[in-house]
Structure 1
């Protein structure tokens, strides 16, 4: 006699085995084999922008790129002191230090202000990404109505132009400190400069030329009102008219200070260290000491053109004239404490 229960159970087992095999095959078809289906290795970085709130102002740090700066250009302290500071930051003395080039966009409510413009491609392909990062941050170059230049070196003014030599910011009024304009835009000064420096004068003149021709260049003197919520802070030494800009909103302050520091690992703990790029090194050192002291005592936010991106943070005073950089923390956009 047939045992129907036995055959029913056997049939159920066969169906379960068949289902398991089919499921395995289907899953294998959906999931690529290891190695064969891995995505291509990404080689690009995330867009170079960072946002923070300063009172009612919106601040966006913009990354233009980086340049390698030889630590041998630093002086004013013994080589062992400089080398030790580099080593403490895991930087090799023998290799050029990767140095960021940053600019800062501030939306005040009344104006959209860009402090410095980056380099374009004047110094190579590692630079010139400001416009792309500006767009990635949600802005168009045509929306910028004010450009404040800390000084006229090409890594700050070169980005005024597109690759075709046109105005990159066609609706912006460009503000340049008078002492810098008098120096860098002067044919007489250019002719008197060493031959290896004369190209810098030409780059500065070229960057400014279309704005000057269009009536969009303002050369300002110390104390002149620029825009509501921002004031110019004289910071000479790196160049004759080097200027920082203090943005103030709801008792919050941000000092965009240009080239006060080129090497964060060395010049914060040792502010007496100058760099060969400084036009007047003793004056640059005195300016750095004064601004570091002021910023630390008043708890100002700082935005530095050559501090590791985003270059925003605060300064803490240490012992024997040393300072420590305290970078801002990545997080949601909100009013900073």
Structure 2
């Protein structure tokens, strides 16, 4: 049995942001650093959540000034039967893939960028430019960084990213700085999880939404305990520092946040709790 397509619209001023779930991923506590499996299990069960954790994998469609962008391309065909639903859910939302002008990437990990290409290595978004931080693109093309990585990461991260970049050729648009990259969207550099990891601020008038990429992977653990890092952080200390910085921004500026691994539909606010933080899910709104 399947639920209805995982699509949810949110208005940011005159900009419409649509959360689209690519699927989910079951994980385990062995990937965490800074919390024991027993502590993680107790924390998840105390909140009546699945343990070991199951995490959403989300993308965000942005309609602004008559143009369409997509933040994140999903996992495609590469990560099992519970992922790869983004194209079907885009169609259910009435979106033609060829109408997507820009695909913005927070970073190039398999659940975020593998959906750029199909099983034959062909472009899934043939009409789209692919925009990402220049530091992110250069990292995955760095031979010395690839040689220093474990074989599994060389294959799943570096080689996969290079194949995706090669498929799009002159449609790639690396950017630097914090200038607008699409109408109403500005990058927020947030290196740590990867060297070019980038959040995106969607803003119109007094309304804003911070789409923070992989600031957290298991929100019920890493928001409450922001020191907790994971095996696939490029720089664990920098990732933890980045997480605290963005959580503080969300708290002090009372900014609505969206995240690729927040429980769908993936919108909410951040508050403080003891020496960590707490996530307050935005209530479902049936009317735009």
With normalisation by structure 1, the TM-score equals 0.81
Listed as ranges, the matches of 1:206-285 within 5 Å are 206-212=163-169, 215-285=170-240
Distance in 1, Cα, partners of 2:135 & 2:5: 35
Deviation at 1:205, TM superposition (A): 1.2
Match of 1:329 among 261, 278, 283: 283
Deviation at 1:79, TM superposition (A): 5.2
Match of 2:162 in 1: 205
CA contact (8 A) 2:77 2:118 kept: no
Match of 2:56 in 1: 100
Distance in 1, Cα, partners of 2:241 & 2:120: 40
Distance in 1, Cα, partners of 2:24 & 2:212: 18
Match of 1:145 among 82, 88, 101: 101
| 1:25-46 C-alpha deviation (Å, 9 max, x unpaired) | xxxxxxxxxxxxxxxxxx1221
* 57-66 or 189-198, which deviates more: 189-198
Match of 1:86 in 2: 44
Aligned-CA RMSD value: 1.6
CA contact (8 A) 1:53 1:333 kept: no
Distance in 2, Cα, partners of 1:135 & 1:58: 17
Q: Secondary structure at the match of 1:329?
A: coil
Distance in 2, Cα, partners of 1:140 & 1:313: 28
For the pair 1:177 / 2:133, whether they are aligned, the reply is: yes
Deviation at 1:208, TM superposition (A): 2.0
For the pair 1:58 / 2:26, whether they are aligned, the reply is: no
Q: Secondary structure at the match of 2:215?
A: coil
Distance 1:79 1:129, change over 3 A: closer
| 1:212-260 C-alpha deviation (Å, 9 max, x unpaired) | 1xx1101111234312211110111100110000010121111111100
Match of 2:152 in 1: 196
| 1:3-43 C-alpha deviation (Å, 9 max, x unpaired) | xxxxxxxxxxxxxxxxxxxxxxxxxxxxxxxxxxxxxxxx1
Deviation at 1:282, TM superposition (A): 0.8
Distance in 2, Cα, partners of 1:109 & 1:332: 23
Q: Secondary structure at the match of 1:64?
A: strand
Match of 2:30 among 72, 76, 91: 72
Distance in 2, Cα, partners of 1:92 & 1:208: 36
Q: Secondary structure at the match of 2:16?
A: strand
Deviation at 1:120, TM superposition (A): 0.3
Distance 1:102 1:46, change over 3 A: same
Distance 1:333 1:188, change over 3 A: farther
Deviation at 1:327, TM superposition (A): 1.2
CA contact (8 A) 2:178 2:189 kept: no
**Structure (1 or 2) with the greater strand fraction:** 2
Deviation at 1:78, TM superposition (A): 5.2
Distance in 2, Cα, partners of 1:92 & 1:333: 30
Instruction: Report the count of equivalent residues.
Output: 287
Q: Secondary structure at the match of 1:270?
A: coil
Unaligned segments of structure 2, at least 5 residues: none
Is the radius of gyration larger for structure 1 or structure 2? 1
Q: Secondary structure at the match of 2:234?
A: coil
Unaligned segments of structure 1, at least 5 residues: 1-42
Q: Secondary structure at the match of 1:165?
A: coil
CA contact (8 A) 2:29 2:36 kept: no
Distance in 2, Cα, partners of 1:266 & 1:233: 23
| 1:174-224 C-alpha deviation (Å, 9 max, x unpaired) | 111111111112334323322121112111111222211xx1101111234
Deviation at 1:92, TM superposition (A): 5.6
| 1:115-135 C-alpha deviation (Å, 9 max, x unpaired) | 111000111111111000011
